[in-house]
Amino acid sequence: MSKDILLSKHFKLSEFTVSPTALRLHIDNSPGIEIVVALSTLVACCLQPLRTVVNTPIIINSGYRSELLNNAVGGTSRSQHLIGEAADLSINEDITVLVSALLKTGIPFDQCIVYVSRKFMHISYKRLSTNRYNLIYK
């Protein structure tokens, strides 16, 4: 499967699978079809609406992680990155724009963890169960 396929107007699959750690450690971070479906849902329900509202590019710092990659970066064993339901985002070094847009618009999400000092946010969306709208600042 090509990693250059468009998941939406502004997001490519490759943005969710590329990883400097995976490249450095020669880890295959290729997603299966279930993961691509989950990523497509995350993009359609969360990320593309957010991108449309802020009207500026959103950088995907981390998207899908294979089990090997997740272990290599110190992710938790229950990380939603493992199943294509999460992404870490940044935008022009001003994360407050994304958080504000997310909360003002009612875009659905399961969990939003805002890493203020590191200037990025983790956002997830559950496609097969109820989303919690859990907002955490760290």
- Tell me the C-alpha distance between 90 and 77, whole Å: 24
pLDDT digits (tens, 9 = 90+) for 83-136: 999 999 999 868 889 999 999 999 999 999 999 999 999 999 999 999 999 999
* Positive/negative CA dihedral, 27, 30, 32, 38: positive
Give 6's DSSP letter. B
Average pLDDT for 33-37 = 96
Banded model confidence at residue 3, pLDDT cuts 50, 70, 90: low
Calculate the alpha carbon distances from 30 to 49, 61, 107 in Å. 25, 16, 28
- Tell me the C-alpha distance between 17 and 35, whole Å: 11
| pTM over cut 0.85 | yes
